[in-house]
Chains A and B, each alone.
Chain A
Amino acid sequence: MTTRHEASDGSTIEPGDVVVLHVQGLEELIASLIDAGFDTRGPSVRNGAIVPGALHGVTDLPKGVHDVQAPGRYRLEHSDDGQLFGWAVGPGSWKAEFFPPSQELWRASPAGDSMVFTEPAPDQRRLAIIGARPCEVAALSVLDRVLANGEHRDPRYVERRDANFVVVVECGRPGATCFCSSMGTGPGIDAGFDVALTEVDDSDGHRFVARPGTQRGADFLSRVTHEESTDRDRGARVAVLERAGVQMGRRLDTEGLASLLARNVEHPHWDEVAERCLSCANCTLVCPTCFCSDVRDTTDLAGDFHRRRTWSSCFDLDHSYLHGGPVRASVSSRYRQWMTHKLSTWWDQFDTSGCVGCGRCVTWCPVGIDITEEVRAIATSDGASRRDVPSVKGAP
C-alpha cells in the first residue's frame, strides 16, 4: 500500500528520492511551473511532426501519438494507448529556444559624430522545457561548452539557460534511427535536469516514476500530488529503459572513433558519400548541437544599421568563403568536415563528442545518408588512404 500525498499536504521530497506521479500530478506540475512564472514549452504536434511548442496542460501533450522513423522517413501514427511520451525525437530540437535561428545582435544609429548602439533587451522569459529527451539534455550540455563555458560567454544564451527549468522524460520508445545508448546519452539520464520522469504503463496502471535532480525540482515535486515509489515502480522504470536499449534502432562503435576519422581524411569513401549527399544542410538544421552561425548586416530606410546572427551550415559553399572562393568547394570535403567535426575534432575543440546519437540527421536526410553506416564503411576499410596523426585528446 503506498502513501498518497495531496498537492497541499506539505510533505517534502529531496533530491535522490523516487516518487510516482499520475497524470493528475503531471498536470499539477505543469500548472505550478506556470504559476511560478515559467514559460512552459513541450512536445506538440505541428505539420505532422512532434516539435517544441507551447504547453499549458496535459491535454496539449501528444496523447497516443507515436513516431515511425527510418533513414529519410518520419511519420506520425495515432493509437488509443494513452501514452503521452510514446515517441523519440522530432525535427525541432530545444537548441532553438536558447540559440535562436535568427537573432538581432544590435542596431546602431548615427548620432552626432558617433554612433549609438541598441542591444535587444535581456530575455526575461524563464523557460520550463517539459518532455525533453535525455539525448536533448546531453545536446544542451554540448552547446553549453561552446557558447557558455569557453573563454567568451554568449550572455543571451547564458541568460536563457540559467533561467531554464528542465523536466526530462526518459526514452521508452526510441526510433529506428536512434543510437543514444552508443553515445552514452540515453535512454536513461542521471544528471542535467530538475525533474526526470519515466512513463510507465503496465498492470499497475499508467504513471510516471519521478526523480528530482535539483533542490528546485524536489520543491516543485513536493507541491504536486504524488505517491512514494515501490520496488515495483522502480523496477518498472528499469524495465522501460532496458526495453528501450533493446529497441534502439542504430548503433555506433565509438571506441577509437575520433582517431579513426582523423587518420582517414583522404579516404575514398568521402567521395562515395558525396555521390549521394545533396549538400542541402538538413542534417545541420535538425542537429541539436550544430552551432555554426552567420553574422550579417542590413541597413533600414531610416539609415540605421542592423546586425543579426543566423544559423548557418558547413554544407553551404559560403561557409568556408575566403577571398576568392570557398575553401571547401566539393561536397565530399563538406560532408567530411561535418562528420569529422561531429565525431572527431569536436573532442579537440570542446573535449566531448559533438554527436549525442539522436538520429535526426539520419531521419531528416532526404536521401537517407546514415552517419552510423558511413562510419562503419570507413572503419571496415580503415587506412584505404591514411595519414599519421597524434591521437585525439580526451576521446575514447
Chain B
Amino acid sequence: MTGDAAPATSVALAMAPRGPRHAMTPVVHRVFAVRHETIDVTTISLEPVTGPRLTFRPGQFNMLSAFGVGESAISVSSAPRDAGPLRHTVRDVGPVTHALCESSVGDLIGVRGPFGSDWQVPGRGERDVVDASDTVVVAGGIGLAPLRGAVDELVARYGEGGGRVFVFVGAREPSQVVFHRDLELWKRSGARVEVTVDRGSPGWSGHVGLVTSLLSSSEFDPSNAKALICGPEIMIRFTARALVDQGVAAGRILVSLERNMQCGLGWCGHCQLGPFLLCRDGPVVAYAGMVSVLLTERER
C-alpha cells in the first residue's frame, strides 16, 4: 500500500501568496468574543487573523477546528446584516464542541466553509419583488442557531413591506431558551414570537408543551405560507407533518437535517441520508418527495 509521499519539501502556506491550497486546510480565526447562552450552549465570535471575513448565506455551516482535538460542522448563527464578526453557536456534546465552548477570547480556531444549502431567504438588495407570503419559522432548542440569520432578514423585510414572520421556539426548559435578546427584538419589529417549553420552572408563565401545539392556534395563512424548520429530527418530522396537515405545501417547507460530517466537500461519505450527501445536497432541503419519505423511517 502506498503511504504518504515523503514531505521532503513542504509548502509553508504562510508564505504562499493566495492562502491554503487544499480545501481541507482551514483559515485561522481568532476568538473575538464568547457568550454563554445556556449551561451547555456557547456563542463564539470569530475574526480571521488575516484576510477578509468570509461571506455566507443563512442556513449554511462551517467546519470549525479546535486544533489538536478535531473538526466539527457548526452552522453560522450570525446574520448577513450583522456588521460584526462571524458567530457560531455551539452546544457542548463531544470533544470538539467541548473545546470550542471552552475557548477564550484570543484563542485560535480553524474555519473552513461556508458549505451547503441555505434557507433561500433573499438578502438585502437581492430581489426587488417583495414576497408578501407568511413565513413560519419553527426551532427546537439550538435549532434556532442556523435560523437566526434568516429570521433577521425576514423581520427586516417585513419592516419594508414583506410578509409576516411567525417564530415558534421550543426548548426542554426555560433555561435552555437561547437568543432572548433576538426574540425580543424580533417581537418589537413586528414578528409573532411564541416560546414553549417541555417542562416549566418556577417563574415561567409561558407555554408548556410541544412546539407543534403552538401551530394550530396561530394566525398564519397556511395556503400562502412557507416554513423553515430546524431542531431534533423527531421534532422536524412532527412539525413538518403538522404544517402539511394544516395546509402548507410540502414543497414550501424547508428543513435543516444533520448527520456526521468530516469534510463538508462531499468526499468523506459520513453525511449520507438515503440519496443525499447532506453537506452538498443539504443541510437545508425541501420537505417533499424523498425527504418526507426518509423522515417517516428510522435508520435504526
Chain A residues near B (Cβ < 8 Å)? 92, 96-97, 100-106, 108, 110-111, 113-125, 146-147, 150-152, 154-156, 262, 265-266, 291-299, 305, 307, 309, 312, 314, 319-324, 327-330, 332-333, 337, 341, 345, 348-349, 387-390, 392
| Cβ distance B290 to chain A, nearest Cβ, rounded Å | 6
The interface bits of chain B over 263-277 (1 if a CB of A lies within 8 angstroms of the residue's CB, else 0) are 101111110101111
Distance between Cα atoms of A298 and B95 in the complex (Å): 13
Distance between Cα atoms of A116 and B10 in the complex (Å): 12
Asked if A116 contacts B50 (CB within 8 A), the reply is no
Asked if A116 contacts B12 (CB within 8 A), the reply is yes
Distance between Cα atoms of A297 and B262 in the complex (Å): 12
A96 touches which of B1, B97, B260, B266 (Cβ 8 Å): B1
Q: Which residues of B contact A120 (CB under 8 A)?
A: 4-5, 7, 10
| A105-B22, A117-B14, A295-B268 known; A100-B2 Cβ under 8 A | yes
Q: Which residues of B contact A151 (CB under 8 A)?
A: 265-266, 280
| Cβ distance A263 to chain B, nearest Cβ, rounded Å | 10
Q: Which residues of B contact A104 (CB under 8 A)?
A: 4, 7
Give the residue name and chain of the A residue nearest to B93 (CB). A323
Can you report 18 A-B residue pairs in the complex whose CB atoms are below 8 A from each other?
A106-B24, A113-B30, A114-B14, A115-B67, A115-B108, A120-B5, A121-B10, A152-B266, A152-B267, A293-B263, A294-B268, A295-B70, A297-B68, A298-B68, A312-B268, A312-B269, A322-B260, A348-B276
A330 touches which of B91, B272, B300 (Cβ 8 Å): B300
Asked if B259 contacts A125 (CB within 8 A), the reply is no
Asked if B275 contacts A392 (CB within 8 A), the reply is yes
Distance between Cα atoms of A265 and B4 in the complex (Å): 39
Distance between Cα atoms of A142 and B289 in the complex (Å): 27
| Cβ distance B62 to chain A, nearest Cβ, rounded Å | 15
Does B249 sit at the interface, judged by CB under 8 A? no
Does B194 sit at the interface, judged by CB under 8 A? no
Q: Which residues of A contact B68 (CB under 8 A)?
A: 297-299, 305
The interface bits of chain B over 1-36 (1 if a CB of A lies within 8 angstroms of the residue's CB, else 0) are 111110111111110000011111100101000000
Does B219 sit at the interface, judged by CB under 8 A? no
| Cβ distance B113 to chain A, nearest Cβ, rounded Å | 12
Main secondary structure of the interface of B (DSSP, over half): loop
| Cβ distance A144 to chain B, nearest Cβ, rounded Å | 12
Does B160 sit at the interface, judged by CB under 8 A? no
| A152-B266, A291-B269, A329-B300 known; A320-B260 Cβ under 8 A | yes
The interface bits of chain B over 68-105 (1 if a CB of A lies within 8 angstroms of the residue's CB, else 0) are 11110000000000000000000101100100000000
Distance between Cα atoms of A307 and B9 in the complex (Å): 18
| A293-B262, A305-B68 known; A114-B4 Cβ under 8 A | no
Main secondary structure of the interface of A (DSSP, over half): mixed
Distance between Cα atoms of A116 and B19 in the complex (Å): 11
Q: Which residues of B contact A314 (CB under 8 A)?
A: 269, 272
Distance between Cα atoms of A2 and B236 in the complex (Å): 73
Asked if B270 contacts A115 (CB within 8 A), the reply is no
Distance between Cα atoms of A376 and B293 in the complex (Å): 25
Q: Which residues of B contact A118 (CB under 8 A)?
A: 7, 10-13
Asked if B4 contacts A305 (CB within 8 A), the reply is no
Q: Which residues of B contact A155 (CB under 8 A)?
A: 21-23
A390 touches which of B8, B13, B22, B289 (Cβ 8 Å): B289
Give the residue name and chain of the A residue nearest to B13 (CB). A117
Does B299 sit at the interface, judged by CB under 8 A? yes
Give the residue name and chain of the A residue nearest to B97 (CB). A323
Q: Which residues of A contact B5 (CB under 8 A)?
A: 120-125
| A114-B50, A119-B21 known; A150-B299 Cβ under 8 A | no
| Cβ distance A278 to chain B, nearest Cβ, rounded Å | 18
Distance between Cα atoms of A122 and B8 in the complex (Å): 10
